[in-house]
Amino acid sequence: MDNEKEYIRSLLPRRSAFLEELRRKSSLTESYAPIVAPDTEQFIVTLLALKKPRRVLEVGTAVGYSSILMADNLPPDSEIITVERYKKHAEIAVDNIFKVGYESRIRVIEGEAAEVLSWLDGDFDFIFLDAAKAQYIEFLPELLRLLNSGGILLSDNVLFHGMTGDDGSVVRRKITIVKRLRMYLEAVTNHPLLTTTLIPIGDGVALSVKK
Ligand SMILES: C[S@@+](CC[C@H](N)C(=O)[O-])C[C@H]1O[C@@H](n2cnc3c(N)ncnc32)[C@H](O)[C@@H]1O
């Protein structure tokens, strides 16, 4: 299995020098949040090629890696809105976005997603959900409101280091997160407005399409 994962990773394309350096720096800087797994990243790029979204919403910017990745793989007239509650992350993201010249294409909104989502206007074709895992279930109604019919909702880390699907792996301090992630997965897999599949790529993603 590990050999297989390594093989898959060996076939992943290189990213821009800027993104490769940002990934390296993120892995070395404790105060930075973890960024998207490389195989999930390529999955996102493939979904963007398929869907060609005009408006993208990201929940959980961290230092801007995945929003820059998405802008790299979308036409210049597309728009990305990304939400981050931690001021320091939002500031670093804005700085990184400026460095790559994407300040007119990516808008960073600093704030708590539950609050920001409530006043955002809809019409998104693609949503990348990558914030606090225990809050996914709380965000779902607003995400559904914001997503176009035919739009994609990609939720990251839903298998949560193997804990979501295996009681024996759940560490005590993560019990609440795992319970809430399970509620989220129950909701998106049974929701009448969504067609969802769970994919064990990276830390596990839920790929949902709105009917
Ligand atoms: C896993 S990181 C995002 C990584 C980023 N998407 C990437 O791949 O480059 C999660 C980020 O979401 C932010 N976050 C967590 N919960 C949030 C919330 N409720 N509202 C806004 N931001 C949140 C955290 O501060 C953190 O920076």
Please give the domain boundaries of the chain with CATH numbers for all domains.
2-210 (3.40.50.150)
Mutate which of 118, 130, 136 for ligand 1? The one with the most ligand atoms within 8 Å of its CB, which is 130
110 lines ligand 1 (CB under 6 A): no
Question: Beta 194-199 vs 147-156: how paired, if at all?
Answer: unpaired
Which atom number of ligand 1 is nearest to the Cα of residue 114? Answer: 19
- Ligand 1: distance of its center to the CA of 20 in Å? 19
Instruction: Tell me the pLDDT band of 130, cut-offs 50, 70 and 90.
Output: very high
- Ligand 1: distance of its center to the CA of 3 in Å? 30
Q: What percent of the chain has pLDDT over 70?
A: 100
pTM of the model: 0.98
Three-state secondary structure string covering 147-173: EEEEEEEEEECCCCCCCCCCHHHCCHH
Residue 1 pLDDT greater than 90, yes or no: no
Instruction: Tell me the pLDDT band of 129, cut-offs 50, 70 and 90.
Output: very high
- Report the alpha-carbon distance of residue 123 to residue 110 in Å, rounded: 20
Which atom number of ligand 1 is nearest to the Cα of residue 36? Answer: 8
C-alpha distances in Å from residue 152, one per residue of 2, 45, 48, 140: 30, 13, 10, 13
- Report the alpha-carbon distance of residue 75 to residue 143 in Å, rounded: 23
Question: Beta 79-84 vs 106-110: how paired, if at all?
Answer: parallel
